[in-house]
Chains A and B, each alone.
Chain A
Amino acid sequence: MQRKTSIPLEVLRYGAIFLVLGFFVFPIFWMVLTSFKPESAIMVSPPRFLFTPTLDNYYHAIVDKNFFFYIKNTLIISVISTAIVVFIGSLAAYSFARYNVGDGHILFFILSTKMMPAIAVILPYFLIFRDVGKTAVGKALHLGLDQHGALIVSYVMFNLPFAIWLLVSFFQDIPRSLEHSARLDGLSRLQVLRKVTFPLAAPGIAVTAVFTLIFCWNEFLFAYILTRKLASTVTVGVESFFTLQGILWGPVAAAATISVAPMLVFVLVMQRYMVRGLTFGAVRG
């Protein structure tokens, strides 16, 4: 929709865009800048923009605090959680979208679990995983406390409603006629799902995956209660920089930058895809 453009209006528009971006980017810029500051340039007034950059903070975070350990845990937990959420969620969403299972009631039920305040169930979760972890199945699937499986299950549970919600509208946007003709060509229902529906819904599934991954990556409360050391994630790991000598701002900034970086790269790579996906799902909501 190209409209007649007037120069002053355009200047105003890009000026506004610049301001908006400044607001959203500055806090992260400041965090990254802090990560390269020597300790003597961080808690000083007035704030310092010029300094001799140092990699000490990164050294402290990566070598002394072994921060990649937390990155590894977070990666394992969020990627597996996201895969499960997307898989299970897609199946369920397809069922809701095409077969109207439960005539909206089951969908409402699943969505309503998203309203539960996590804090209310965190102790029951703690006790459940403590007991499950002692069983044979629990041991095999690493479902005990301070094990990856416990967090994965929690994240699947808490991200499933959102994922299903998004996915239902994506599936509804796929014309039924395509599936029909595939069925008439002799494909089974599952084959239709695999060869026709899912590929068509890929942008929508990608969007769902991105959001799920972001939510898992950034989750704090469950990670903090259900892990101790071996399965701790980055958000919990950052806490180990809150020391008796105060918050180690430089290393925290370095750790935060390291932990945000994979998400940024991922989001940037997926960006084009995401906008397509969001557009796709948004046509009719």
Chain B
Amino acid sequence: MRKSLASASLLALLSAGGAFAQECADPVEITWSTIAGFYTDAMANFVKSFEDDNCAKVTVVNIDNSQLYNKQVIEMVGQTGAYDVVTLETAEKAEFAENGFILPMTDFFADKQELLNDVSPTLRAMTVEYKGDVWGLPYYTYTAGMFIRQDLIDDAGEQAAFKAKYGYDLADPTTWEQHRDIAEFFTRKAGETLKGEVLTKDFYGVGLMAGPFPEIQDELSAPLWGMGSDWLTAEGTVPVDDVEKVLGEYVEELKFAPPAALTVTYDGVMNQMKDCQIAMTHGFFLDQWPNAVKTEDNCPGAKVAAIEAPGKKAYVGGFLLAVSSSSAQPDMAMKFVAHIGGYEIQKQFAELGGASTLTSVLTDPAFATSERRATNGQYATLNMIFDSMSGFSSNLFKTPFGAKIYNTMQIPLQAAAAGQITVREAAEQLAADVAKICGGPCPIAN
């Protein structure tokens, strides 16, 4: 279905741009390095309209998410100019900016303020701005909330049992204590009942991403930021006690998660949810909504909801498009950034089920209808999260060592989750690792 939508819009674009395409004899070539996957494939289709309008030739290089960072740094350090437009994780922007790998786009956006202002302010503060400059546009957001099996929460029998056990009403969790209780409550063995029906396989209260991937820190960002703390203090050090506290609570919840929690990342959790194995997630990327909602097809009576994480804070992620400073065609590259991050493309992108970054798209009533629920059903929650987190930013995104820290911090965290070291040791090791990476307290820009 999506595929036919994509090709239909592509056809429309092609016929519109056809006249230009013929006149363009000597196109300007630029290359965009980005993340492999369906949404990027869709974006690649949109590249076509840019090529036709601007007499350009855009090559899209798809790279596995886990390799994107190092691959891009290598090309930046080597100053190969191979990638004109790069794709950066939120935590990587400061490093690329500080080291001169990417070009500031403040001047470029001087006459495009409406576009810049259309990027949700919360997202803009964290993904776009650094040291007073603008460094590109985010084109995709994986900002976190959480997914929950609403049918379980709404079940009268379960509600009664929950109240009897915990002394308060079963509802969407608003604190991490409630989150823990719900996780515990719904953890059942095969043979026990769920919603009055006998389970044929084990059921777990929560799906966690404690595998060897940089996602456990995304999960932990939710309770850590929620308690008013951060990965780095204003002095640039890790608040060991706070990390110990949230990590300790997290490790407690692992008891209520499938054993695979120690080996998987978000796709594993989504598979568990789609296979009717878990009741909810921890802080989780809401861009996975089209994936999560498939649970309703697979599990009889299931209803999935995207809600705000307890404490109303969670990881804010966006893939930033920025222009490499070794690009031979910076002007064209910048135009391309504005094109992909711009309203036209973002709107079409949203129609395919993409998690757009623009307020005008996210609040477009056309996406709030029940027909669009399977593709854009998380938009309302996303808007709520951006409102709740308005004015917030993490120091992790303000240090030029953010990328290295981000790509290392899962190691002690996961070691504690697996029981290899204690929670306290993990927090201390994280502090030591971070100090080693920064060579002392990490510099924090304002």
Query: Given the complex of chains A and B, what is the CA–CA distance between A64 and B36 in angstroms?
Result: 13
What mask results when residues 73 to 98 of chain B are scored 1 for a CB within 8 Å of chain A, else 0? 01000101010000000000000000
Cβ–Cβ contact B78 & A126, under 8 A: yes
Verify A245–B67 contact, CB threshold 8 A: no
**Are B78 and A130 in contact, with the CB atoms below 8 A?**
yes
Which positions 233-248 of chain A face chain B at CB distance < 8 Å?
A: 239-247
Residue A184 CB within 8 A of the other chain: no
A115 within 8 A of B: no
The answer to whether B80 touches A243, judged by C-beta atoms less than 8 angstroms apart, is no
| Residue numbers in A under 8 Å from B267 (CB-CB) | 245-247
Q: Please, which residue of chain A has its CB at the minimum distance from the CB of B290?
A: A245
Judging by beta carbons under 8 Å apart, are A242 and B64 in contact? Answer: yes
Q: Is A16 part of the contact surface with B, judged by Cβ < 8 Å?
A: no
Contacts of A239 in B (CB 8 A): 36, 63-64, 67
B14-71 CB contacts (< 8 Å) to partner A: 31, 33, 35-41, 59, 61-67, 71
Query: What is the CA–CA distance of A121 and B231 in the complex, to the nearest angstrom?
Result: 34
Q: Which residues of A contact B288 (CB under 8 A)?
A: 245
Closest to A226 in B: B74
- Answer yes or no: A183 CB below 8 A from chain B CBs: no
Contacts of B67 in A (CB 8 A): 224, 239
B297 to chain A, nearest CB (A): 9
Decide: B275 and A45 in contact? CB cutoff 8 A: yes
Q: Is the CB of A244 within 8 A of B287?
A: yes
Interfacial chain B residues near A145, Cβ < 8 Å: 80, 82
Given contacts A45-B275, A45-B277, A229-B59, contact A242 B78 (CB under 8 A): no
- Neighbouring B residues of A64 by C-beta, 8 Å: 41
Q: Is the CB of B275 within 8 A of A43?
A: yes
Does A137 interact with chain B (Cβ within 8 Å)? no
* Residues of chain A lying within 8 A (CB to CB) of residue B270: 246
User: Which residue of chain A lies nearest to B63 when distances are taken between CB atoms in the complex?
Assistant: A239
Tell me, rounded to whole Å, the shortest Cβ–Cβ distance linking B56 to chain A.
17
Among A60-76, those with CB < 8 Å from B are 64
> For the complex, is B122 an interface residue (Cβ under 8 Å from A)?
no
Which of A224, A240, A247 sits near B62, CB closer than 8 Å? A240
Chain B residues with Cβ under 8 A from A40's Cβ? 298
- The yes or no answer to B150 lying at the interface (CB within 8 A) is no
Q: How far is the CA of A244 from the CA of B62 in the complex (A)?
A: 11
B274: interface (CB < 8 Å): yes
Question: How many residues does chain B have at the interface if contact means C-beta atoms less than 8 Å apart?
Answer: 38
Are B78's CB and A245's CB within 8 A? no
Contact A43 B274 (CB under 8 A): yes
A11 close to B (CB within 8 Å): no
Closest chain-B Cβ to A1's Cβ sits at a distance in Å of 47
Q: Any chain B CB within 8 A of the CB of A123? A: yes
Cβ < 8 Å to A, chain B residues 229-276: 266-268, 270-271, 274-275
The answer, yes or no, to whether A127 is at the interface (CB within 8 Å) is yes
The distance in angstroms between the C-alpha atoms of A240 and B267, with both chains bound, is 15
A130 to B64, alpha carbons, bound, how many Å? 23
Least CB separation from A122: chain B residue? B74
Asked whether B37 lies within 8 Å of A245 as measured between CB atoms, the reply is yes
Q: Let me know if B64 and A240 touch, CB within 8 A.
A: yes
What's the A-B contact tally at a CB cutoff of 8 Å? 71
Closest B residue to A230 using CB positions? B59
Q: Looking across the interface, which residue of chain A has its beta carbon closest to that of B75?
A: A228
Determine if A136 is an interface residue (Cβ-Cβ < 8 Å).
Answer: no
A240 pairs with B291, CB closer than 8 A: no
A196 to B78, CA, bound (A): 49
Determine if A45 and B59 form an interchain contact, defined as CB atoms under 8 angstroms apart: no
Residues in A129-149 with C-beta less than 8 Å from chain B: 130, 145-146
Report the separation of the CA atoms of residues A81 and B35 in the bound assembly, to the nearest whole angstrom.
30
How close is B182's CB to chain A, nearest CB, in angstroms?
22
- Does A44 have its Cβ within 8 Å of any Cβ on chain B? yes
Interface check B201, CB cutoff 8 A: yes
Q: Within 8 Å of chain B (Cβ to Cβ): is A80?
A: no
- B291 adjacent to A228 (CB under 8 Å): no
What residues on B are CB-neighbors of A225 within 8 Å?
Answer: 71, 74
A46 surroundings in chain B (CB, below 8 A): 201
Residues of chain A contacted by B290 (CB below 8 angstroms)? 245
B36 touches A44 (CB 8 A): no
- A246 adjacent to B271 (CB under 8 Å): yes
Across the interface, do B74 and A246 meet the contact criterion of CB distance under 8 Å? no
Taken together as a complex, chains A and B put the C-alpha atoms of A148 and B365 apart, in Å, by 51
Nearest A residue to B287 by beta-carbon distance?
A244
Contact A44 B275 (CB under 8 A): yes
A245 to B287, CA, bound (A): 9
A131 to chain B: closest residue by CB: B78
B37 CB contacts on chain A under 8 angstroms? 242-245
Q: Are B275 and A244 in contact (CB under 8 A)?
A: no
Chain B residues with CB under 8 Å of chain A are 31, 33, 35-41, 59, 61-67, 71, 74, 78, 80, 82, 140, 142, 201, 266-268, 270-271, 274-275, 277, 287-288, 290-291, 298
Q: Can you report 19 residue pairs joining A to B where beta carbons are below 8 Å apart?
A: A45-B275, A46-B201, A123-B74, A130-B80, A145-B82, A224-B71, A228-B31, A229-B59, A239-B36, A240-B36, A241-B36, A242-B36, A242-B65, A243-B36, A243-B38, A245-B38, A245-B288, A245-B290, A246-B268
Q: A43-B274, A241-B36, A242-B66 provided; 10 other pairs, C-beta below 8 A?
A: A43-B275, A45-B201, A145-B80, A228-B31, A239-B67, A242-B64, A244-B35, A244-B40, A244-B65, A244-B142
Top 8 closest A-B pairs, CB basis? A246-B267, A243-B37, A244-B37, A239-B64, A43-B271, A240-B36, A242-B64, A240-B62
